């Protein structure tokens, strides 16, 4: 039978047990030999000594097991282990001598022999353990690099340890692994032991003098990451995540290119389960247009669409730098992709007409939008032009040129909007959902909360403030927001293409809201600073248009579950199409006339739930009314 099928842990314990079993008779024989001044033993003493071993060996081994000599790892033998050996030898010797006295009156055993035996056995058991540790330390870690504890002893952790050891990296010295898999505890991997589970990190940091914790757990969930980070913070030890392991293997990245744990790692969620077969079937070999394709959502959406083999991917954006960046990125990653990038503005109908006439897109993902809440609060004309009229321009072009699907990327701020930005996005939703009834194109809206790390979001702001030494500004300690990673949001947007029949508002399940104060606290800690001591968190009060809590659907929108656990369906409220068209046309005229007061009145008519957040003074009586069919 091959020894490979025996777990390393048991092989190591078996080796230690065999060693200790042999040391007992050796120490006993040496004790007799020393007692008789290294001379030959009289026959009677020799025979009594041999018979005594029949009691001493099992008793002594029982004492070893009772005192936990085989729970430790020789690689980490230290003073506590020597003390356990001393206690086990003393107790074992005392019990064995007592039994010998009961059965044989300890005849033929000089009184000095047990004393000498005890000293020798402690030396024979403890000495090899300490020598083994010294040899391991001297052989593997002769460099003066940082002592590293690796989290995760699976394939990723093993590859990381092997990379450091084989490349003789002087900056790091791997010492041990920790792993929550009980089957791996006690094993040796690349000559390094799995010394405990993740909860043992604080103790191991002190015991092993750890300088750095490396996380090699690519499949870890956000909950697991938060747990490990908490242990590291409690231990006061720096922690880093390794680069992509495939790049490490290929040599594209070096181990010294460690990345900090990001807030996205801690707030991310379990991977989304998607029907990739259906998604690929709906998007492959199609001409796809992404407006706002250079922005945070649009660029990631373009990357994911490029993987699905579209016939042509058309990206439309009004920012030349963003457009250039996504073009270079996609050309490098997907050289076979037919990519067309157009610099233009959704508020410019001829520009939109030209793109649709040239490419005849099958599907449109409309992600172009202004979204900065405090800024747009004083820029209602720009919010309406871009978010309402720009959406109308693209939606009408999609209808005119026979697109099969139009996806509007919306926001939770469109629900009971407290600000101009939210009201403008709600108006865009209303237009698209009611255009669906007049068109052969399927108009679908996807609504979700904040995406982690998007341009203009709070996370880049906090990073900048932390880098500058603070303070980190939070509006209110009670403020909460829903968060989702950009890749997850884009994946679910694509999923709605195969779910929607037209006219729906899909609401992405954002999980539990996160307090912004918690976000600030965690980001400061991830930077290695202490909140309130090294970096201040300053509460500055709500800004114009901000709410303490966001909602994902209106109280009059009937919410339903769908076949996908992360996607909900909100039934929208229908509007009389003629009155809606008149109001949107009036918005366009008010924009041309630079009439901010008229824009406010018209937006209140179109989005009546916005009225509860608008001051009553300063507005004349509404001159336009949009007729809602099902209130």
Phi, psi of 57, rounded to the nearest 5 degrees: -60, -55
Q: Which helix (H) or strand (E) holds 174?
A: strand 172-178
Angle of CA points 160, 151, 173, to nearest 5° = 55
CA gap 477, 479 in Å, rounded: 6
Pair of tokens at residue 335: 């050289």
CA gap 393, 364 in Å, rounded: 12
Q: Which residue has the tokens 């870690």?
A: 141
Beta-bridged to residue 445, according to DSSP, are 408, 505
CA gap 263, 523 in Å, rounded: 6
Among candidate residues 371, 413, 566, 600, the one labeled active-site is 413
CA gap 88, 68 in Å, rounded: 9
Pair of tokens at residue 327: 């073009």
Instruction: Please name the residues in contact with 495: beta carbons below 8 A apart, sequence gap of 6 or more.
Output: 272, 274, 275, 279, 564, 567
Whether residue 413 lies in the annotated active site: yes
Of 528, 455, 447, 450, the closest CA to residue 492 belongs to 447
* Beta-strand pair 287-291/312-317: parallel
Of 28, 568, 497, the closest CA to residue 278 belongs to 497
**Could you tell me the end-to-end alpha-carbon distance of the chain, in angstroms, rounded to an integer?**
77
440 CB burial (10 A radius; 0-12, 13-18, 19+): exposed
CA gap 458, 473 in Å, rounded: 10
CA gap 547, 480 in Å, rounded: 9
* Beta-strand pair 287-291/363-366: parallel
Instruction: Please name the residues in contact with 13: beta carbons below 8 A apart, sequence gap of 6 or more.
Output: 70, 186
CA gap 540, 19 in Å, rounded: 68
Query: Could you list the active site residues?
Result: 413
């Amino acid at each position: 039978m091959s020894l490979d099928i025996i777990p390393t842990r048991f092989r190591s314990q078996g080796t230690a047990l065999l060693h200790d079993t042999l040391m007992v008779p050796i120490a006993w024989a040496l004790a007799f030999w020393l007692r008789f001044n290294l001379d030959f033993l009289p026959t009677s003493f020799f025979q009594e000594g041999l018979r005594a071993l029949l009691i001493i060996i099992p008793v002594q081994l029982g004492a070893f097991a009772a005192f936990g000599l085989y729970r430790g790892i020789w690689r980490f033998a230290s003073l506590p282990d020597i003390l356990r050996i001393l206690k086990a030898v003393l107790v074992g010797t005392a019990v064995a001598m007592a039994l010998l006295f009961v059965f044989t009156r300890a005849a033929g055993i000089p009184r000095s022999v047990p004393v000498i035996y005890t000293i020798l056995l402690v030396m024979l058991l403890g000495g090899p353990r300490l020598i083994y540790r010294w040899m391991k330390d001297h052989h593997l870690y002769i460099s003066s690099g940082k002592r590293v504890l690796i989290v995760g002893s699976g394939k990723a952790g093993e590859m990381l340890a092997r990379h450091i050891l084989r490349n003789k990296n002087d900056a790091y010295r791997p010492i041990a692994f920790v792993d929550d898999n009980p089957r791996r505890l006690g094993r040796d991997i690349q000559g390094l032991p799995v010394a405990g589970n993740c909860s043992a990190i604080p103790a191991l940091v002190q015991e092993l003098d750890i300088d750095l914790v490396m996380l090699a757990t690519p499949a870890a969930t956000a909950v697991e990451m938060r747990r490990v980070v908490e242990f590291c913070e409690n231990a006061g030890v720096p922690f880093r995540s390794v680069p992509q392991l495939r790049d490490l293997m290929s040599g594209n990245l070096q181990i010294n290119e460690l990345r900090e744990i990001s807030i996205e790692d801690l707030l991310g969620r379990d991977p989304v389960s998607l029907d990739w077969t259906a998604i690929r079937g709906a998007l492959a070999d199609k001409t796809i247009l992404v407006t706002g394709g250079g922005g945070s959502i649009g660029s990631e959406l373009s990357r994911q669409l490029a993987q699905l083999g579209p016939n042509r991917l058309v990206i439309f954006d009004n920012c030349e730098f963003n457009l250039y960046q996504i073009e270079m990125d996609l050309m490098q990653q997907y050289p076979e992709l037919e990519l067309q990038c157009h610099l233009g503005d959704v508020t410019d109908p001829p520009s939109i007409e030209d793109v649709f006439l040239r490419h005849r897109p099958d599907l449109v993902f409309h992600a172009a939008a202004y979204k900065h809440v405090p800024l747009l609060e004083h820029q209602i004309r720009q919010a309406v032009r871009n978010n309402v009229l720009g959406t109308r321009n693209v939606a009408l072009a999609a209808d005119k040129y026979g697109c099969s699907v139009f996806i509007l990327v919306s926001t939770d701020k469109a629900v009971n909007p407290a600000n101009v930005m939210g009201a403008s996005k709600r108006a865009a939703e209303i237009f698209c959902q009611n255009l669906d009834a007049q068109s052969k194109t399927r108009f679908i809206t996807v609504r979700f909360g904040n995406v982690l790390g998007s341009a203009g979001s709070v996370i880049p702001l906090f990073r900048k403030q932390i880098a500058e030494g603070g303070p980190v500004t939070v509006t209110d300690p009670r403020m909460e927001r829903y968060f989702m990673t950009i890749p997850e949001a884009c994946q679910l947007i694509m999923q709605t293409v195969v779910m929607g029949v037209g006219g729906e508002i899909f609401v992405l399940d954002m999980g539990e809201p996160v307090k912004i104060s918690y976000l600030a606290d965690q980001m400061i800690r991830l930077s290695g600073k202490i909140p309130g001591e090294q970096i201040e968190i300053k509460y500055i009060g709500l800004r114009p248009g901000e709410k303490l809590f966001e909602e994902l659907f209106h109280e009059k929108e009937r919410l339903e579950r769908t076949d996908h656990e992360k996607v909900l369906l909100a039934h929208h409220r229908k509007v009389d199409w003629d009155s809606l068209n008149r109001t949107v046309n009036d918005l366009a005229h008010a924009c041309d006339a630079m009439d901010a007061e008229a824009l406010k009145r018209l937006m209140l008519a179109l989005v009546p739930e916005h009225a509860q957040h608008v001051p009553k003074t300063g507005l004349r009586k509404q001159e336009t009314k949009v007729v809602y069919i099902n209130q």
